[in-house]
């Protein structure tokens, strides 16, 4: 299985801050990576697909980059509704595997 | 608009079989380019991919669960189902169904999830 190492597992930030979350794959997954946002009690919602493509309807403050084994999700200016949990997902090889999640908390 | 809805028993006794169904509306399961997927999330923990099935009925399971999992499809009802046998408390989780848009797009649509508790 491909291991997805997501970091940090949690972070504290202020509204307006720029934050970056990283996922590292245990082997080359090309650009077959998606980022999801999960609000409490809700299903994950896709933010980014194919590493850097913004899902329709998602605010432009979210962006993704990377290929191969290193990927990042950047939120350029945190808004109050962004203080939730984020996951990466590799869909290059089955079984699909998720990162462990990053909880973004208000400082 | 595509929608997925999980249904089934929310409480299962240890050693019994968990059974869930995902009803898909807005697209036919037989539509090419997609597989239909189950994922789970234990309370307070991360996400685990369980397996998928194509409309043709060809399943693929996570090796970690393969001995206990069966995913099937009912094209006439536009549903696909999950059975997980010999459950224990470790199988307590929110179970999600989702569409896997093949060809580099990943899991694009998810159901709202259903909590299944394993307890006597």
Distance CA(A3)–CA(B91), nearest Å, equals 21
Model confidence over B80-112: pLDDT tens digits? Answer: 999 999 999 999 999 999 999 988 889 999 999
Taking CB atoms and an 8 Å limit, are B96 and A97 in contact across chains?
Answer: no
Nearest to A66 by CA among A38, A40, A35, A96: A35
B44 CB near a chain A CB, below 8 Å? Answer: no
Distance CA(B81)–CA(B114), nearest Å, equals 13
Taking CB atoms and an 8 Å limit, are A34 and B111 in contact across chains?
Answer: no
pLDDT at B107: 96
Smallest CA–CA separation between A40 and chain B, in Å? 10
Share the mean pLDDT of chain B: 95
Tell me the mean pLDDT in the region A5-16: 97
DSSP per-residue codes, A79-95: -GGG-SEEEEEE-SSSS
Distance CA(A56)–CA(A101), nearest Å, equals 22
A13 band by pLDDT with thresholds 50, 70 and 90? very high
Taking CB atoms and an 8 Å limit, are B49 and A95 in contact across chains?
Answer: yes
B55 band by pLDDT with thresholds 50, 70 and 90? confident
Model confidence over A20-72: pLDDT tens digits? Answer: 999 999 999 999 999 999 999 999 999 999 999 999 999 999 999 999 999 99
Smallest CA–CA separation between A100 and chain B, in Å? 6
B58 CB near a chain A CB, below 8 Å? Answer: no
For B74, the token pair is: 């009912």
């Amino acid at each position: 299985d491909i291991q997805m190492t997501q970091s940090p597992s949690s972070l504290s930030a202020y509204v307006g801050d720029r934050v970056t979350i990283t996922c590292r794959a245990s082997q080359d997954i090309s650009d077959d990576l998606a980022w999801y946002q999960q609000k409490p009690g809700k299903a994950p919602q896709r933010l980014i697909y194919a590493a850097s493509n913004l899902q329709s309807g998602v605010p432009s403050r979210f962006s993704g980059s990377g290929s191969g084994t290193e990927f990042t999700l950047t939120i350029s200016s945190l808004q109050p509704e962004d203080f939730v949990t984020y996951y990466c997902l590799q869909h290059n090889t089955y079984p699909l595997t998720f990162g462990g999640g990053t909880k973004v908390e208000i400082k | 608009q595509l929608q997925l809805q999980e249904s089934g028993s929310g409480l299962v006794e240890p050693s019994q079989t968990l059974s869930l169904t995902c009803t898909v509306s807005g697209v036919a399961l037989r539509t090419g380019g997609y597989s239909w997927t189950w994922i789970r999330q234990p309370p307070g923990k991360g996400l685990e991919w369980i397996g998928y099935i194509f409309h043709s009925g060809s399943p693929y399971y996570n090796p970690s669960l393969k001995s206990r999992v069966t995913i099937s499809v009912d094209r006439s009802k536009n549903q696909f189902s999950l059975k997980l046998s010999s459950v224990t408390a470790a199988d307590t989780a929110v179970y999600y169904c989702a569409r896997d848009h093949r060809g580099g797009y990943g899991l694009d649509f998810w159901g709202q999830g259903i909590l299944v508790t394993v307890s006597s």
